Each structure stands twice: as C-alpha cells, then as structure tokens.
Amino acid sequence: MFATLLAMTLGVTSDEELVRRFGSGDRSAFSELVRRYQSRVYSLCFRWLRDPAKAEEVAQDVFIALYKSLADFRGESKLSTWIFRVATNHCKNRLVYGNRRREDRHESIDAPVGGDEDGPVKQYAIDAPGPDASINRAEASKLLQAALDALDEDQREIVLLRDVDDLSYEEIAELLQLPKGTVKSRLHRARAELARRLSRKVGLEDVV
Amino acid sequence: MTDPRAPENLSALLDGELDPDEVEAVERALREDPALRAELHALQEAMEFTREHGPVEPPAGFAERLNARIDAELAPPSLWERLRDAFRQLPWEGLALAAAGALVLFFVQSAPKQTPATTGGDDAGVDAVAQGRPELGVEGAPALAPAAAPSPPPTALAQGPEAGTAVATPDAVAQARPRSNPSLRLPDPAPSDAASESGQDGLASAELSAAAPADPTRGSLGAGGQKGLDAAMSYRLRASDKRVLSQLSELARLNGGQLIDASTGEAMDLRAFDSATQAQVVMRVRADRVTAATTALRRLGELDYLARRDDLLYGSGAVDVAIDVQLSEGSTR
C-alpha cells in the first residue's frame, strides 16, 4: 500500500497497478514490468549460470512464468519478491539438471562462439593485462565472477540478491524464508569472504 | 543489538539496516577500534565492487525476443489450428465403423422382408479403438502404435434383414458404435480455476467406481494420504485403460522424474495397482518440464484440474503433480 502511494506521489506506476492493468487486458503493462526488471533478472541469471545464452533463456523463462501467472497474482507478497524467487529457483534448477539446452528453443544470437559452454565467461575473453596495467571493467567482472563462484551456494545467493539485485533485508528474508538476523549474518560472511578473495586478486583501487 | 562490535553489524551499517540507536553504538565502537574500522573498509570496498561490476545488461533485443516467445508459446490457437486438432482427435475408426454399420442397416432395411433370425450376441466384438494407446506428447517420446482396425460385429453382418425393423434403431446403432477411446479426446482447455472445476460433478457418473473425494478443491491427496509429499498441482484423471498408470510412469520418466505412490511416498509399484480402479500417485517432474508434462496428461484421459499452489510451483529441482487416477472399466461414451 505504501509503495503504491509513494509511486503515485512520484508519478511512477506501481507494480501493483501494472498487475491490475495486465489483468484488465493491457499487455503493455507486462512490457513495462519486463523493462523494469529485465536488467536485474538477467544479472542474477548471468551471475548464477555464467553464460549469456543460458542466462537469457532462463531470464526469459522467468518472464514467461510471470506472464502466465500475472493474472492470478494475488499480491500476498511483493511482485519483486515473487520474481526473484522464481528467478533464483530457475537458476538453481538449471544448475542441478545440467546444461542441456532445451531443444525447442532458438539459439541465442549471443551464445558464445566455440569453446566450452560450461567454462568461464567467454564473452569477456581478453588478453591478460600486463603487470603495470590496471584492470578494465571486463576483467573486473571476471574477477568478481570467480570470487562469487568460490562462495558456497547460500552465500552466493544472498550477496547476489542484495548487492546485484538490490533487494532489502526484509525482501531477502521473505524470499528465502529466513529470519532477518540470519540474512544479516549470512550476508556479512559472504561479503567478508568476497573481500578476502578480491583483495588477493586485485587491489580494488586499481579498477579503472 | 547484542554487541556493537559484532561483525554482521558492519554490513548492516553499510546497508542502512540499523536503527538510530544501533548506528550510534556501532559508530562509537568504530571510533575506538582501528581494526574494526579496517574491517569495515574492506567490507565496503567488496560491497561497492560487487555493486559496480555485478549487474550485467541483457543483450540487445532481449525484450523483443521475449515477446516473440510469448507470442509463439502462449498465443491462443488459431481457428485453423483448433479445427486441425479437433480433426485429428476424431475417432475415425469408430466413425468409419458407424458409417459402415449404417450402410449395412440401410441395405438390410431396403432388402425384401425375410424371416427374422435369432438375434443375440453382444457388442463385445465392437471395440473399435480401445486398443489404441495415446501419445505421451513430450519431446523424445516414441509415437505409440495406432489403434487396430476394428472388426465389424459378426451379428450385424451375419443376420439377414429383419421384418418390420425400423431403420437405424438406437439399439442397432449402439451395437455398431465402437467404444470411444477416451485417450483420443479433444484437448481440455487451459486449467481453469479450482472453484469452477469442483462444480463439475463427474464423480456422480455411473462409469466411475471410486467414491468421490470429500473436498475436491483440496485435491485428492489429503493430509492422510501424503507421506511428506506437498504437491504443487492436483489433478483428477479418469481413464478407461489400466495401462494409464504405466503411461504416467513413462511420462514422469520422460520429464526427468518418477511416479510415486502417494500413500507410501515410495516409487510406484505398478503391479500393486494392476487390479485396482483407483490410485493416488504423484508425478514428480523436473520444474522446467511441468508444462509439457501437464499438457501430455490431458491426452491420457479426462482431466480435471483441482488445485495449484504457486509457492511450490517453482520449487528447487522438481515439481510434484498429484494425480487422483480413477479407472473405469467397460465404460462407453
């Protein structure tokens, strides 16, 4: 309710209003939701799956699930919580069941060319920087991915939701069905571990 | 807050998740402890690094490709597609037999009147398409053998015309009409609301030998029947072919899962239900195969959608689909 009032005050259509409009047959409301969440959903999928083609496929799966369920969405939780819960579960499912590509999907035009799809992020393949070169953004992304991969799944999950998808502690607690205190302590351990790994790889001040 | 120096308070401070009193306590601790300040600094750098480099923009055209998928996968079928599917689902063997039977009757009625022969026999031989097996309708599933061509009822052909018999009496036509194959059924519409589905009192039908569940809107796997299985969706499947349980098992396997006996929570022992007319099973399938599996379910028999739980629908790894299977023997349609 507060979110709706705030959105109205700021002249921004709330998620709840978009859901209502979609239920009335306004498909542009769904397009607005996609625009609103696509970056965060794709980021989450990419950081879980480490492959742009898989990330796009799973991100689209999430939005298709949203499309199918939106008319029945009862608002018992925030829409954003629902979206990221579905996205996280889809990513975990994809990891559990391996990397078999769905045969009825089109190939992503952004699929990595050659190489092992299960390997590190290929789209950022660059020459290793020289000893005096500061790392660029692409390399920083690779380093971050390697540090995230080294976390255990629970820690990775929570740091992605907080620091990549910008969910609040309360939203994370609801999404993961955890007490807020557990969110706080688990997030801290995840960040502390990330800090330890990143400080070994690069001086953070060296990132251009 | 128990201890302002507790490490997790540093992250919460950075996230603005402490109340004013807690902030003051942690800041006081930071002023007094350089090691704590250093730890805060490291955390802040890691957090900012993740926030800066963590997000990844989707590839160009993401929304357009998404819309194309939605249009392709979720658009309602065109009139032509609906007609085509209905055409394929018609029991052609049965219609052919009925037409042949009607033709025979026509000629019988047209022939000169003769002494009536002894009637008798039953329509047991008229079982036009009951031997067919439905397609499972999933990727990689083998296309099953089509139904055998029916043999015409011997009594209808062997008999001569009967004096005074009305053309194409209902009984005569009924003898010639084959039992329809419930598997060759027009596809159900998209799962409707559980409340509306529960209004269809198919359980009162004489062809069903099982008792109706007390509350169909809750699904047939009540608390007493489940052994720790929490189904995301619940269906009632009525079929006349006992092999439906093995077909369900195969369906589950093709969709990356297995069939589970709801009363024991164990993998299904199909032999235990060989002579039963009712089974409560759970078809556990991969979460990303749920749609394909539930679509294929409609081809196994008459399917009532009972309930769905959104909070379980995308559980980790697999989805439980509860099915109350009711087998009817000797049913005709």
With H, G, I as helix, E, B as strand and everything else as coil, classify residue A165.
coil
B122 touches chain A (CB under 8 A): no
- Residue range A130-208, CATH number: 1.10.10.10
Q: Residue A64 and residue B63: Cβ atoms within 8 Å?
A: no
Question: In chain B, which residue's Cα lies nearest the Cα of A206?
Answer: B49
**Mean pLDDT score across all residues of chain B:** 66
Query: Is the per-residue pLDDT at B138 higher than 70?
Result: no
**Overall pTM surpassing 0.80 (yes/no):** no
Contacts of B49 in chain A (CB under 8 A): 140, 144, 194, 198, 204, 207
Give the C-alpha separation, B181 to B188, whole Å. Answer: 15
Q: Which of B 217-276 lie inside 8 A of A, CB atoms?
A: 256
Q: Residue A34 and residue B66: Cβ atoms within 8 Å?
A: yes
Contacts of B315 in chain A (CB under 8 A): 89
In eight-state DSSP terms, residue A19 is: H
Say which range, A122-126, A164-168, B149-153, has the weakest mean pLDDT.
A122-126
Query: Is the per-residue pLDDT at B174 higher than 80?
Result: no
Say which range, A42-56, B44-58, B67-81, has the weakest mean pLDDT.
B67-81
Residues of chain A with CATH 1.10.1740.10: 13-111
Position B39 confidence tier, pLDDT thresholds 50, 70, 90? very high
Q: Residue B11 and residue A86: Cβ atoms within 8 Å?
A: no
Question: In chain B, which residue's Cα lies nearest the Cα of A145?
Answer: B54
B316 touches chain A (CB under 8 A): yes
Query: Is the per-residue pLDDT at B131 higher than 60?
Result: no
Q: Residue B310 and residue A59: Cβ atoms within 8 Å?
A: no
pLDDT at B129: 39
The kind and range of the H/E element at A104 are none
Contacts of B192 in chain A (CB under 8 A): none
Give chain A's length.
Answer: 208
Position B51 confidence tier, pLDDT thresholds 50, 70, 90? very high
User: Three-class SS string for chain B?
Assistant: CCCCCCHHHHHHHHCCCCCHHHHHHHHHHHHHCHHHHHHHHHHHHHHHHHHHHCCCCCCCCHHHHHHHHHHHHHCCCCHHHHHHHHHHHCCHHHHHHHHHHHHHHHHHHHCCCCCCCCCCCCHHHCCCCCCCCCCCCCCCCCCCCCCCCCCCCHHHHHCCCCCCCCCCCHHHHHHHCCCCCCCCCCCCCCCCCHHHHHCCCHHHCCCCCCCCCCCHHHCCCCCCCCCCCCCCEEEEEEECCCCHHHHHHHHHHHCCCEEEECCCCCECCHHHHCCCCEEEEEEEEEHHHHHHHHHHHCCCCEEEEEEECHHHHCCCCEEEEEEEEEECCCCCC
Q: For residues B89-93, give the mean pLDDT.
A: 76
Which of B39, B51, B53 lies nearest to residue A141, judging by beta carbons? B53
Half-sphere exposure of B274 (CA within 13 A, CB side): 3
pLDDT at B76: 66
Q: Residue B57 and residue A39: Cβ atoms within 8 Å?
A: yes
pLDDT at A173: 95
Query: Is the per-residue pLDDT at A168 higher than 90?
Result: yes
ipTM above 0.85, yes or no: no
A162 touches chain B (CB under 8 A): yes
Query: Is the per-residue pLDDT at A157 higher than 70?
Result: yes
Contacts of B53 in chain A (CB under 8 A): 137, 140-141, 144, 207
Say which range, A170-174, B164-168, B246-250, B291-295, has the weakest mean pLDDT.
B164-168
- Higher-confidence position of B273 and B300: B300
In this complex, how many residue pairs, one in chain A and one in chain B, have their CB atoms less than 8 Å apart?
150
Query: Is the per-residue pLDDT at A195 higher than 50?
Result: yes
Q: Is B58 exposed, middle or buried (0-12, 13-18, 19+ CB in 10 A)?
A: buried
User: Of the ranges A134-148, B134-148, B220-234, which is most confident?
Assistant: A134-148
Q: Residue B56 and residue A46: Cβ atoms within 8 Å?
A: yes
* A13-111 is classed CATH 1.10.1740.10: yes
Residues of chain A with CATH 1.10.10.10: 130-208
Residue identified by tokens 């003898």 is: B175
What percent of chain A shows pLDDT beyond 70? 73
Query: Is the per-residue pLDDT at B320 higher than 60?
Result: yes
Give the C-alpha separation, A165 to A173, whole Å. Answer: 14
Q: For residues B257-278, give the mean pLDDT.
A: 71
Say which range, A194-198, B40-44, B71-75, B270-274, has the weakest mean pLDDT.
B270-274
pLDDT at B113: 65
pLDDT at B23: 92
Position B321 confidence tier, pLDDT thresholds 50, 70, 90? confident
Identify the CA nearest to B276 among candidates B323, B325, B229.
B325
Query: Is the per-residue pLDDT at A134 higher than 50?
Result: yes
pLDDT at B256: 77
Q: Residue A188 and residue B70: Cβ atoms within 8 Å?
A: no
**Mean pLDDT score across all residues of chain A:** 80
Query: Is the per-residue pLDDT at A171 higher than 90?
Result: yes
What percent of chain B shows pLDDT beyond 90? 17
Q: For residues A176-186, give the mean pLDDT.
A: 94
pLDDT at B1: 60
Q: Which of B 27-46 lie inside 8 A of A, CB atoms?
A: 39, 42-43, 45-46
Which of A35, A42, A163 lies nearest to residue B50, judging by beta carbons? A163
Q: Residue B139 and residue A104: Cβ atoms within 8 Å?
A: yes
A164 touches chain B (CB under 8 A): yes
- Higher-confidence position of B57 and B106: B57
State how far residue A8 is from chain B, nearest Cα, in angstroms: 25
